[in-house]
Each structure stands twice: as structure tokens, then as C-alpha cells.
Structure 1
Amino acid sequence: MKVRPAQRAEAAALTEIALASKAHWGYDEAFLAACRDELTLHPADIERHRTTVAEEDGRVLGFTTLEGAPPQGVLGMMFVAPDALGRGIGRLLFEHTMTEARRLGFVRLTIDADPNAEPFYLAMGAVRVGATPSGSIPGRELPLLEYELTPR
């Protein structure tokens, strides 16, 4: 397994991973259609959002985005392909992204988490600090988490 910067040409494939990962939690087609714009990565987003992928045998199994400018930023997207869940890819991507964030001078990241992903982020050391409105579903709130980047 290797972690590397995403390539612009991978934007559509990463979007499909995001949508498949979201669908894994049992959301219906109407919900996924409402989320499509928010979960879509465009080629121009890849570098701007510091997109990183986990790849094995030439197949991308997951990705993250690190957004904003130091000292405070956002873990904007983090998705793992459903057939690769439970293999430690999420942990690998999270730890890699936090290491990169520290290197770039970030001290704190926020995460607008899907409720199904909140336990993962809490296990990684994030803390729930509130709720934030969904960018896709009117009236829906998402857990707002914060991760403090302590020097290592």
C-alpha cells in the first residue's frame, strides 16, 4: 500500500469512491443525488485541496483532502472504497494527512463528519465540538469535530 498525491485525471474516480462510500451506509438514491455536487471532485480541486490517495496494485482504495491555510484547516473529504473497509486504509490516510498538516504548519483541523464516520474520528483523537449544517440536505446537521495537531 502506498500513499501519494492524487492526480488531476483521477478526479472522476475519486468522486465515484466518495459516492460509493456514502452509499455503503444505506443512504437511498435521492439522498446520494442530493449529495452528488458536494461529493464531486473536479480536476482543479485535486491540488488546491491537497488530495492524497491510498493505492494498492495500481488501484486507488481511498483518499483525503486537506483544505485551508495554516494554522487552522479542514479535513474536507475522507473516503475509503467500501470493499476496502476494515483494512486500516482510513487510519493510514488519516495519519498521513495529519503528518502532512503538521509539516505545513496547521495546528487544528475541523471535520464535518458523516454521523456514521464520527466513531472513527473520535477513535483517532478528534473531539466533537458541535454540529454544522449539511451542505447538501436542508435541515440535516452533521457532527462538527476538531483535531488538535500536537507537535511530534
Structure 2
Amino acid sequence: MGISIRPARPEEANFLTDLALRSKAYWGYDAQFLESCREELTLREGELSGRRAAVAEQNGGIVGFTTLEGDPPQGVLGMMFVDPGVIGKGVGRLLFDHVVATARDLGFTQFTIDADPNAEPFYGAMGAVPVGVVPSGSIPGRTLTQFLRSVQD
């Protein structure tokens, strides 16, 4: 597959924001919905390292990214998006495995994920278990399933 994972660079923030919106659009959300999500999905140069942003790179291009946020022992998978052209090709699994390994190395015992409904089957397949619902950060009245993933296995 030829994919490597590395820390995101500050100058990639705008590109990653665009990737997040394109990835979200893949699931058929309309322009109004995506605009409502824009602020929540916007990354800024100065926050990438604090959010532990990591990118998946293939053939010199970014094909996905993730963030692991919070402080041990409880973290948050803040964002995880894959380029629509490679959804279903293993990039998400590589990124998720990277988050689990990073979390373990940093002393986390678990992390939560507030999952888009379209991503719920993926997170379940990655060993995360649903633990409740939380309000959407973008759409008033919308809820998301919250998953919990232990990193001790």
C-alpha cells in the first residue's frame, strides 16, 4: 500500500480542513450541513501539535489524518478523516492503529470517539464500544453515538 504516517505540519492545516470537509461530503451531506460543520472541522496552524495531528501519506500526498486529544489517562479521538478516493482501502485502519499505539505510548488507558453515523460500523470493527450519545458540536438537536476504545489490549 505504501502509506506512511507522520506528524502533521503547521502549514498543512488548511489542506487538512479541506480534506475533512471533502471526506464528510462523501456521505451525501448537503452544502448547508457541511457549512454548519465547517467551524468544528477547521484546523489551525498553531493547534496541530497540541492536538497530536498525524497524517497518512501515500506517493507524497496526504490521504487521511487523525487527532488524539486530551491528557492521560482519558483521551479523545478528535478527528479522523480519509480522502474519499481511498475510503475502504485500509487508510482508516492504519490511522486508527496509529492512534491506539500513540495513546498507549503516552500513557492513555482509553479514548472516546464521537462518531458520525456513517463511521459507526468502522469504529465498532476497530474494537470501540458504544457507551452513549452526545450532542453534535455543529448541528443543534443532532446527537452522535459516543464510543470508547481501550488501549490496554
Written as runs of structure 1 = structure 2, the 5 A alignment for 1:126-145 is 126-145=128-147
Q: 4, 7, 17: which one pairs with 1:5?
A: 7
Return the alpha-carbon distance in structure 1 between the equivalents of residues 151 and 89 of structure 2: 24
Find the counterpart in structure 2 of residue 74 from structure 1.
Answer: 76
Shift of 1:65: 0.1
Instruction: State the TM-score, normalized to the length of structure 2.
Output: 0.97
Letter in 1 for 2:133: A
Aligned residues: 151
C-alpha deviation, 1:11, in angstroms: 0.3
1:41-52 alignment, distance < 5 Å: 41-52=43-54
Q: Distance in 2 between matches of 1:118 and 1:86?
A: 14
Q: Distance in 2 between matches of 1:101 and 1:76?
A: 13
Taking the TM superposition and a 5 Å limit, the aligned residue runs for 1:1-150 are 1-150=3-152
Computed over aligned residues only, the root mean square deviation of the Cα atoms, in angstroms, reads: 0.6
Q: For the residues of structure 2 that align with 1:45 and 1:21, how far apart are their CA atoms?
A: 21
Q: Which has the higher helix share?
A: 1
1:53 Cα shift? 0.4
Runs of 4 or more consecutive aligned structure 1 residues displaced over 3 Å after TM superposition:
none
Unmatched 5+ stretches in structure 1: none
C-alpha deviation, 1:127, in angstroms: 0.2
Unaligned runs of 5+ in 2: none
Cα displacement (A) at 1:144: 0.5
Paired amino acid for 1:21: S
